[in-house]
Amino acid sequence: MYAALWRVLPGPFVVRLLIVLVLAASILLALVAWVFPWVAETFLQQESVVESMP
């Protein structure tokens, strides 16, 4: 899959590398900005307290 993506990208090695880095940064930014907050909000973990037994 990665080899096919690499072959489809235009330009020489440096241009391809820049495109891949920009795509990876964009995906990471989208995850941090929208996906991770939605997951944290949707799947709230309930607070649990462990009491010590006397």
CA distance 39 to 34: 9
- What distance lies between CA 12 and its chain's CA centroid? 27
What pLDDT shows up at residue 44?
A: 74
List phi, psi (to 5°) of 33.
Answer: -80, -40
Whether this prediction's pTM lies above 0.75 is answered by no
What pLDDT shows up at residue 54?
A: 65
What pLDDT shows up at residue 48?
A: 65
Task: Return the ∠ at Cα 33 (arms to 30 and 36), rounded to 5°.
Answer: 95
What pLDDT shows up at residue 46?
A: 72
> How do the pLDDT tens digits run along the chain, 54 residues long?
789 989 999 999 999 999 999 999 999 999 999 999 998 888 877 766 777 776
The residue ranges of every structural domain in the chain are 8-41
Name residue 52's amino acid: S
